[in-house]
A and B are shown apart, each in its own frame.
Chain A
Amino acid sequence: MNTIAAMVVKRIGMGMLTLLVISVLIFAGVEALPGDLTEAVLGQNALPETVTAFRKELKLDLPPHIRYFSWIGDAVRGEFGNSLANGRPIAGLIGWRFSNSLFLALATAVIAVRVSILLGIAAALYRNSFFDRAISIATLSTISFPEFFVAYILIALLSVQLIIFPSISNINAQMSFWQKIHAIVLPCMTLTLVVMAHMMRQTRAAIINILSDPFIEMAKLKGLKKARIIILHAFPNALSPVINVVALNLAYLVVGVVIVEVVFVYPGLGQLLVDSVSKRDIPVVQASGLIFASVYIGLNLLADVLSIISNPRLRNPK
């Protein structure tokens, strides 16, 4: 039990270290700007007084390491300063959008994880059948399609031809839960199709991999039914790679939401990030980048920790 705890603690430590380095990178990226932020925002012809005032407001007159610590300290407390574009506090801009993005990602996760594991098990059960091949071709093609292609096909079919779902997923605080769900059906479906492929293929591969083990041979010789062998004998042992790929794909969702949010004009964090990049609103870019990084690193961490815990060989050391 001790080795496993030590491994988990070590992994978490690594994760924290990575996050720290990333935050330094995010901060230093802006420092590398030729001239500095002042010139990028105010232009080269700004009056000296304006420049001084601006530098003072953004604390650019302090040395970099002090600014880094005050920035990261504020970020931990959830304060990110003000947006350059409209002067509003960034925390307010981000809070509501971040919860929207999480809502979309969670809804997708709930559907995608179940469907892909079921399909993966089914494909392993009926291996090399027509059903297996059809699923394999379908998932291979969704991997190669860009997200926006899938999204526009869905819009063309479900919101233009058959007018069932809205093509623009505008949600606000007044809407009820089911209204929100109805609004996000299409983005949710797009993301599901995109992440499902990897999860399903990995589940299938992990189960098939285990089917050649001696204990499965044993179960077969005992005359157990095929479905029972796969669900009760093979699947629990395939759990570690499956959990890993599920968590990795949830991390992938973090990036997937950016494009899907733009397609469906969904008020999420990804949309905010893209807008701020084109407006060069750098404090907002830094803040949302830091949040994306924390979520992504957190989920990767979770994937590793869960696969350490769910590995029976590590759980029961000799």
Chain B
Amino acid sequence: MAFFKLLRSSPLSARVGLVMVLITIAAAILAPVISPYGETEIVGDVWLSASKDHYLGTDHLGRDLLTRLLYGARNTIAIAFVTTFLSFTVGTICGFFAATLGGWTDMSLSRGVDIIMAFPTLIFALMVLSVVGTSITALIVVIALLDSTRVYRLSRAVAMDIGVLEFVEVARLRGEGIWWLMRQEILPNAMPPLVAEFGLRFCFVFLFIAALSFLGLGLQPPTADWGGMVRENAGAITFGIFAPLWPAGAIAFLTVSVNLIVDWFLQIASGLKD
């Protein structure tokens, strides 16, 4: 019930964002049911224009573009979500540890993070992937670890602020262990900024994977994913066929909608009222 109350107080932009995200998620989950053809099924000529049989036309191998788009939603969003989740788990645990323990742990973790953040993420990922190869597991682990540096910064800063409050001090004096402090005292109070950050990081990771796939180093064909679909159909644009704009537009659609929701959360987290 509290959720609906919260929803009723939401601004219009957040509601629009929410509807857009729900549409995308529904499309991703229902892909096998609603898509007219198979994921890698070749159904006609190359780069057919939109018709009644193919609502968005066909791609560079003659596969139905709408079908690929729906399956692409499934793969791209699932991988981005898993990566963000992993990055959050690693980032918040390390950040909370650094903030509660302080001293050496804090020093060494923070300096390490400083160094990784002094290097452009895309270049770092490219270099690591050139060594370990481009499997989906490698992709998820590499991006999650790189991204967890930003989560670390935020969660450490938040936990630092909370760690000096009286109730944490009380728990410490009561003799609670470090896990208790992190889970029962700090985490619940750090939730609002972390949730907003989750949305932001999801956008970033999602765009990042799309960019890597676009460069041909992310998900490998024939798996459908939006970044890769832009790459495969890129050649069409010089013939005036807008096939690459559909997946690129889908990426933009999802990022904009998540950003709309994140804006609202940020407003709640910062306690601003207009």
Pick the residue among B118, B237, B255 that contacts A144 (CB under 8 A): B255
Number of B interface residues, CB 8 Å? Answer: 39
Q: Is the pair A285, B126 in contact by a Cβ cutoff of 8 Å?
A: yes
Q: Which of B206-248 contact A (CB under 8 A)?
A: 207, 210-211, 214-217, 227, 230, 234, 237-238, 240, 242, 244-245, 248
Number of A interface residues, CB 8 Å? Answer: 48
A47 in contact (CB, < 8 A): no
B46 in contact (CB, < 8 A): no
Q: Which of B242-272 contact A (CB under 8 A)?
A: 242, 244-245, 248-249, 251-252, 255-256, 259
Q: Give Cα distance in the complex from A282 to B133, angstroms.
A: 12
Q: Which of A283-306 contact B (CB under 8 A)?
A: 285-286, 289, 292-293, 296-297, 300
Q: Give Cα distance in the complex from A25 to B245, angstroms.
A: 38
Q: Is the pair B259, A148 in contact by a Cβ cutoff of 8 Å?
A: no
Q: Is the pair B216, A21 in contact by a Cβ cutoff of 8 Å?
A: no
With a CB–CB cut-off of 8 A, which chain B residues contact A259?
122, 211, 214-215
Q: Give Cα distance in the complex from A300 to B115, angstroms.
A: 12
Q: Is the pair A258, B215 in contact by a Cβ cutoff of 8 Å?
A: yes
Interchain nearest-CB distance for B208 vs A (Å): 9
Q: Is the pair B255, A22 in contact by a Cβ cutoff of 8 Å?
A: no
Interchain nearest-CB distance for A250 vs B (Å): 12
- Can you name the residue of chain A whose Cβ is closest to the Cβ of B238? A167
Q: Give Cα distance in the complex from A141 to B263, angstroms.
A: 13
Q: Give Cα distance in the complex from A293 to B122, angstroms.
A: 11
Q: Is the pair A296, B120 in contact by a Cβ cutoff of 8 Å?
A: yes
Q: Which of A143-171 contact B (CB under 8 A)?
A: 143-149, 152-153, 155-156, 159-161, 167
Q: Which of A257-300 contact B (CB under 8 A)?
A: 258-259, 262-263, 273-274, 276-278, 280, 282, 285-286, 289, 292-293, 296-297, 300
With a CB–CB cut-off of 8 A, which chain A residues contact B238?
155, 159-160, 167
Given A29-B128, A276-B130: A152 and B119 interface contact (C-beta under 8 Å): no
Interchain nearest-CB distance for A279 vs B (Å): 9
A173 in contact (CB, < 8 A): no
